């Protein structure tokens, strides 16, 4: 009877040790997960640009999106709190200058000097609080709409900010520099449509 009891204890200890070793092995294999990422980059077009950045601005805005069906109660509501960080470059597109010269009168003609515009806007969204209701949840199109609305929000802020005024002042300074260079060579500068 004692031998059977000792045998059962030994078998039980072997099963416990085997369970522990098997569990540790399973955990170790679980930690060694494999992640496969793939990226395909396709270059569509390369073009020469003649853009002059005169002002850069950095923005951080908090954007709130709230959507609900008929009643503003938890099961029917979804909302997101998003931080938008953006870097905007404002300047002029010099490709719009359209210059031509008259060598006989030593005149450089520019049809029009371009107005300042947003040349680039790089932005990043950080989602801080996403709350979905039971019957109202975020879809891919909702996230895309939030992204577009946040970008439009930043563009509107840029257009209403001091950046556009500073860009116009810098454009006028560039125009004065061009005028001084042309007149320094003994030519005259004529701009048909001044800013």
Selected residue with higher pLDDT from 121 and 18: 121
When pLDDT is averaged across residues 108-117 and rounded to a whole number, the result is: 85
Please choose, from the candidates 87, 153, 146, 144, the residue with its C-alpha nearest in 3D space to the C-alpha of residue 120: 87
Predicted local confidence at residue 88, as pLDDT: 92
Q: In whole angstroms, give the CA distance from residue 83 to residue 66.
A: 15
When pLDDT is averaged across residues 63-70 and rounded to a whole number, the result is: 77
Predicted local confidence at residue 2, as pLDDT: 67
Model confidence at 115: pLDDT above 60: yes
Continuous segment of H or E residues that includes residue 93:
strand 77-93
Cα angle: 123, vertex 124, 127; to 5 degrees:
145
Predicted local confidence at residue 114, as pLDDT: 85
pTM (predicted TM-score): 0.64
Predicted local confidence at residue 35, as pLDDT: 67
Give the residue carrying structure tokens 């000097």.
113
pLDDT in tens, 3-15: 777 777 777 778 7
Predicted local confidence at residue 87, as pLDDT: 93
pLDDT in tens, 128-140: 888 776 666 778 8
């Amino acid at each position: 009877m004692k031998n059977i009891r000792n045998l059962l204890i030994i078998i039980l200890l072997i099963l416990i040790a085997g369970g522990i070793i098997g569990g540790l092995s399973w955990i170790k294999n679980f930690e060694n997960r494999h992640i496969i990422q793939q990226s395909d980059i396709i270059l569509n077009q390369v073009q020469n640009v003649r853009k002059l950045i005169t002002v850069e601005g950095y923005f951080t805005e908090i954007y709130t999106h709230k959507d609900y069906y008929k009643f503003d109660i938890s099961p029917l509501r979804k909302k997101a709190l998003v931080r938008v960080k953006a870097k905007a470059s404002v300047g002029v597109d010099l490709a719009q200058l359209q210059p031509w010269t008259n060598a006989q009168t030593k005149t450089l003609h520019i049809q029009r000097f371009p107005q300042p515009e947003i040349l680039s806007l790089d932005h990043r969204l950080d989602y801080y609080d996403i709350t979905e209701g039971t019957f109202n949840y975020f879809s891919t199109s909702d996230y895309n709409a939030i992204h577009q609305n946040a970008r439009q929000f930043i563009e509107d802020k840029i257009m209403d900010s001091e950046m556009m005024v500073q860009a116009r002042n810098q454009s006028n300074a560039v125009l004065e520099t061009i005028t001084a260079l042309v007149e320094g060579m003994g030519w005259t500068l004529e701009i048909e449509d001044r800013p």
